[in-house]
Structures are given as C-alpha cells and as structure tokens.
A and B are shown apart, each in its own frame.
Chain A
Amino acid sequence: MSQCNLGEPWRVQMNTDIKNAAEKHPNIKMIFKDAQNDSLKQRAQIEEFVSSKVDLIIVSPKEAAPLTPPVADAYKKGIPVIVLDRRVLGSDYTSFIGADNKKIGRAAGKWVVSKLGGKGEVVELKGLMTSTPGQDRDSGFRDGIKGSNLKVVFDADMKWLEPNARKEMESALATHPKIDLVYGHNDPGAHGAYLAAKAAGREKEMLFIGIDALPHEGQAYVKQGILAASFEYPTGGREAIDMALDIFAGKQVPKEVTLDSHVFTKDNVDSGESG
C-alpha cells in the first residue's frame, strides 16, 4: 500500500484501518510504503510493486497527474489497483473508494441550521482552498445553509493546520463581538479556533464543529465537550481490504464506491454509534 504522506493523523488512521482489516485474513500479506509527500517517490513505489509482482495495489495518491501513468501501467499489466481518497486521471484503475466532501459539507451546513434555529453568525475556517477537499467542504456547507438566516461573517484559509486556525480565529474574535458557531474544515482547525476563543475567555459564547472524527482527535474533542459535533470523513481502509478479498475471489467490483459519513455529537460519541 502506497500512502502519499503519513504526516497527517487521518492518513495514519487510514493505514491503521487497512492493517487491522488485513490482519483478520491470514492469507493477505501487506506491504506498506510512505511516499513522504513526494509524487516521484510514490511513482517509484508503485513501479516497485509492479516489478515485484504483487497481487494487488492499494494507493492513496498525492497528486493525480504524476501518479496516473504508473497506476495505469500496473492496471494494464493485470494487477488490480484500488485508489483511495484522492483520484487519478482517466479510468485505468480497478476501483476508486472515497468520501464525498461536498456531501459532508452540506450535512454540516444543515446540522448548523438546525442547531442554531436557522439564524446566527458563523466563522468558517477553511482547509487549503487550492485543494478540492477544501473547495468542496466550503461549497457543500454554503449549500447546506442556503435559505436560512445564517451568515458567514468571517472566513479564512487555515490550510488544514491548527496553528493557522488559531491565528485566524484571533482575527475573527478581534473583529466580531458576536460569533455563534465556528465551522472548521477539519477537527484540528476547529480545535485551534477553540483554543483562541478560550484564550480570549469567549469559548462558551459559541459552538465549534469540525470534520474527520478520528477516534483520538475529533471524537475525543466531542467527548471532552470542546466540539459540539464532528463529521466523519471515513478513510476507506476497511472497505479497500473487503474489496481486495472480492477481487481475489473473482467477483466483479464497482468502479467507484462513495463512503457514507456520520456525525458524532455528545449524544452518541460514548456509545461509539454515530448518527
């Protein structure tokens, strides 16, 4: 399995999910590689898998364009390739498994409308806006609050990073005496905003929500009462192994699988059953 970058907790969780699922099947031997955010390195890893004649490749690509040729080459040589989370170009792969960021953003927007009774002032701390997940989490949220009296009074690109989110939130707090809710495109962003509000003594005036819902991050923040909600961004790790088993059994698999997302709140986070 070639992971584009293990510097992000969500991607570490993806590998953990794959490992845990694969360990239940003694006939599967996993080889994990970390491309360390380097597309050339990831290309080489896929080429190495092909030359060592693995039975199947799972890849979560860093970038679509540079990873498309090695994935297509593996696929054309008869090695099934499951692409996780980020896409490659064209259709020379076996299956793509990923979540729908726009749908998750829309669910977050609708949840906020319901929670705030259709009106209020919102701060949006965006993920990297040159990335499609950032764009989709923004546009989906805007769709979700459409028709309500919710206003996004401050937005900023925190590039997925908690320290940036904290800094941007300090600006929001300085310029807006009334904030009802902070929507972070990821849980670290929402947590950074919480820390800024806490430092200003204003954390109880507003709610904080984020996306990803990792067990030791977003879900933990919900348990601690820091976040009002965290929307799961599933890794697809377990589903990739299930699909690999189907492929090994000679079954047809879908070209695309869109993963369901769930919301964790204080009402369900302790039971482990998301809503």
Chain B
Amino acid sequence: MTTRRNTMKKLLVAALLFGFSLAVHAGDKQYVVG
C-alpha cells in the first residue's frame, strides 16, 4: 500500500514538473526580426 502511494506521489511530482516545463517553454516564444 505504502509503495503504491509513493509511486503515485512520484508520478504526481513528475507530471507537475512536466507541466511546469511546458509552461516555461510556451512563454519562450521565438521572434523573427527582419
């Protein structure tokens, strides 16, 4: 039971980190200056 809970926690943290990384990346828009 404890192992499953730990795994869930790890998955949740990983998902949060992935979401944060996506958000940061989305804010880093590329601009072309001609």
Contact = CB atoms under 8 A, between A and B. Distances in A.
Interface of A: 1-2, 22, 27-31, 33, 48-49, 52, 54-58, 244, 248
Nearest to B31: A55
Contact of B32 (A2, A31, A33, A48): A31
B29 A54 contact: no
14 contacts: A29-B30, A29-B33, A31-B32, A31-B33, A31-B34, A49-B34, A55-B31, A55-B32, A56-B33, A57-B33, A58-B33, A58-B34, A244-B33, A248-B29
A52 B29 contact: no
B33 A27 contact: no
A124 B29 CA distance: 51
Interface of B is mostly: loop
B28 A54 contact: no
Contacts of B32: 29, 31, 52, 54-56
Contacts, number: 42
A49 B29 CA distance: 19
B34 A52 contact: yes
Interface in B13-34: 28-34
B29 to A, nearest CB: 6
A34 to B, nearest CB: 13
B12 to A, nearest CB: 31
Contacts of B28: 27
A28 B31 contact: yes
A237 to B, nearest CB: 12
Contacts of A27: 28-31
B30 to A, nearest CB: 5
A194 B28 CA distance: 52
Nearest to B30: A27
A28 B34 contact: no
A17 B32 CA distance: 17
Given A52-B34, A54-B33, A244-B31, 5 more contacts: A29-B33, A49-B34, A56-B33, A56-B34, A58-B33
A57 B33 CA distance: 6
A125 to B, nearest CB: 37
Nearest to A29: B32
A48 B29 CA distance: 22
